[in-house]
Structure 1
Amino acid sequence: MSNPYKDAGVDVEAGYQSVSLIKEHIAKTQIHNSLNQIGDFGGLFPLQLDGIKEPILVSGTDGVGTKLKFAFMLDQHSSIGIDCVAMCVNDILCCGAKPLFFLDYIALDKNYPNKVSEIVQGIAQGCIQAQCQLLGGETAEMPGFYAKDEYDVAGFCVGIVDKSKMPNKQTIQKGDRLIGIASSGVHSNGFSLVRKILQDRQIDPLNYAFEEHTLAKTLLTPTKIYVQSMLQVLKEIPIKSIAHITGGGFFENIPRSLPQGLGAKIQTNAFPILPIFEFLAQQGGLEIQAMFGIFNMGIGMTLVVRQEDVKQTLEILHSCGEKAYEIGEIIEEEGIHLC
């Protein structure tokens, strides 16, 4: 007996197999007694408010963007899920929020269960790093909409913070210091430009050796998740503001964490610019000003603290395994000023 839905390109049986394969990955992220099972129409999460006087829920959503093209090139899909989680949880960290749960959405031309399982394995790993639960998700098989063997992935997270403990950028003053935490690489931003540079220079990232890997593998390095280290800092230091350095680099993101009338002077020699950015600047003929307005340049997150809190903040971050640096100061001139 023919199956008209399968004839149209949607394999329901493959969907069932995908669900079966991803169950073990999802189970590893469980942090509370679960009230729901995979296949339910909604994800249920028991909210624990012990010690929180004024609970504020903080939400964030994002995708991975054209970095996915490098996953397609290498046919490696596990790390891309970490990127998806990172882009969401790092954003809500800027409000001081502890991530609670995460949901994913995977849309693809054809449901290959092993590929879906590999993607979800990465998402689960990202959730473990972020200390949150993978509560549910959706896989959509959309034949004729996506190119063969391609897909998109997006995520949504919810966190919680006590209102009294949220960073408040209105407390920032001239002379406060900016601390930068190292990135793991390009993270998940600027890849449309990366791909254009490689295309214009006729560089094959699959066969171009870069450091200890191919260029493609270097570019696929997953986005760093800062949850564990940042929550530790937030417990001990009165952080005034936090910025996640994503698309738009320093020039777009740091000003979002500053009050009107103030800016930041950045010492570009205070931290190592990663080799991948030096490579992209050289191959693309890009000036340093442009690079800092597009990429993270080796700094994935910035914090504004009082001058007297710099030493302790750096000590906490280093004890958590982060590479962190004092990279600048707050000045009475709006914008970002590179020195």
Structure 2
Amino acid sequence: MSLSIRPISAEDVDAVVALWRKCGLTVSYNDPEADIALARANPSSDILLGEAQGRIVATVLVGSDGHRGWMYYVAVDPDIQGGGHGRTMVEAAENWLRQRGINKAMLLVRPTNTKVKAFYEKLGYAEEDRSLLTRWMRGGPGTETDPAQLWTIETTVTYLEMPRQPTRPTVPAPSGLRLGLQRAENPTVSFYRYLYNSIGAPWAWVNQRLMSDTEIAATIQDEKVELYVLSVAGVPAGMVQLDRREADTVDLAYFGLMPDFIGLGLGGYLLNWGIDQAWSSAPGRVTPGKVTVNTCDLDHPRALPLYQKMGFQPVRREVHRLPHPHLFGLEVPAHRR
């Protein structure tokens, strides 16, 4: 049985966690979902999967600290161990490191785990005379802290709908600013990440940070997804992302301003423009039956009132757990601390 190697995607998380648990690699003080989120969010790490017969049967988490390479979660389904698949995953991780100019691979093995130590020694790994010093910054063995509280954050999401096109005066553009509004045609992933990360950083936008470049490209370059960029004197100041992929519905997927442009009166103007664009019946486009949006209590405190002022009506609320902002080097918004 040969393995097909590929990077992890969002749809693989549950299967990977299940495999790690089956292999006995999870411990109470490490949340596997958080480990996956952190690895995927960091450009210096990745999780490689080994697939056979359409099933994930092996993994390795590989990364570098800029000087050395490290491997974690080297796992092979117990049902197929002994077939050389562990060696295949280690070699895949080593190749990942070589491609990034890393010349030394390292890993940690508990002294009592003699079987695993022997496995790596057969692959050419040798024990070095070094002292390992550690310090837990959050949680750790023997603490009473719930890992879910360390690695995730709870938020209440409000889902809103606008069932009919509003009839109201247009919100005028703020005076004294040279504004531009243009659709980004076939936007690049790097440009989209710049907008998303810059606009969302103060409000703990993390979902798209978990997505791979391939996943993001598949969304933003879809002809039914529209990305509009607001600029002030040529400088990107905000974005509106409309998703028309669901029949009879336009979802206002993302809307926001760059931090430097908050407080200039642009929010209401841009949201009003985005709503009008969502309802627009351009040639070849069917007028939607409703426009949707959602927000959460991590967002700007005025976001929900603004949506309601513009005509959106709350239809339901749900409590979700998101990867904690500190996994991405972000702060929890001040109003939630």
TM-score range, shorter-chain basis? under 0.3
More strand by share: 2
The higher relative CO (CA closer than 8 Å, separation ≥ 6) is in 1
- TM-score, scaled relative to structure 1: 0.23
More helix by share: 1
- TM-score, scaled relative to structure 2: 0.23
